[in-house]
Amino acid sequence: MKKTLLSIAILLCAVLTVKAQDDDLLPRFSAGFGVGVTTGPQHSGFPAAGSVGLKGEYPIAGSPVCITASAAYEFYVSQDGYSASSDSNYGNYITGAIASFVPVTIGARVYVNKLFFEGDVGASFSLNSAHSTTDKSVAPILSPSIGYGFRFGSSQKIGLDLSLSYETRLESNKTPSDYSLVNPYITNYGAYNLVAFHVAFSLGL
């Protein structure tokens, strides 16, 4: 974690030395989705993930920096996928599992022309039943990302942001004390790490 934070700090300091773009930045509101793959402790049980979220950007006058705030619904899909079915013999039944979280973050986005670098920190709230997929109902979350913001029209108000991010829900590895409470796709508790590609549609305010 210390190495990750140091890398983000060095990256932001380096980018801040670059001249800001000529156009004034607009406050923006965006909505989008992400798809990605899981790394680390939960990769084998929940290898794929997705998200939908909202983000607000507020520019700092005279600088290439925007303060950001975001919230999302994020889900990790089990290795067997997830589906709900029913038949005459077994009634309603579910195949696979989903680990669901709501990350709420604040951060900073630094623009170099249309290229941007962003770092976010916050809290991730579990939507699963207690101890089923995580030992922590609320855990710290950290996410650095890099992307490109397309802006359209003479006003530059309409935008499309494409970005690649790394995210970690910080948890220490821990063996569950009672496996009867734990989702069968969980071997041990531990961090949910995600590499994801995001698409967001934005509007300048």
104-128 pLDDT tens trace: 999 999 999 999 999 999 999 999 9
Provide the number of structural domains found in the chain: 1
Using 50, 70 and 90 to split pLDDT, how confident is the model at 21? very low
**CATH code of residue 53:** 2.40.160.20
User: Above 80 in pLDDT, residue 78?
Assistant: yes
The percent of residues above 90 in pLDDT, for the chain, comes to: 76
The residue ranking higher by pLDDT, 68 or 86, is 68
The confidence score (pLDDT) of residue 117 equals: 98
User: What is the distance between the alpha carbons of residues 34 and 72, in angstroms, rounded to a whole number?
Assistant: 10
Instruction: Tell me the β-bridge partners of 69.
Output: 56, 106
Domain with 193, as residue range(s), is 2-204
User: Above 60 in pLDDT, residue 148?
Assistant: yes
User: What is the distance between the alpha carbons of residues 183 and 130, in angstroms, rounded to a whole number?
Assistant: 10
Cα dihedral sign, 1-49-135-182: negative
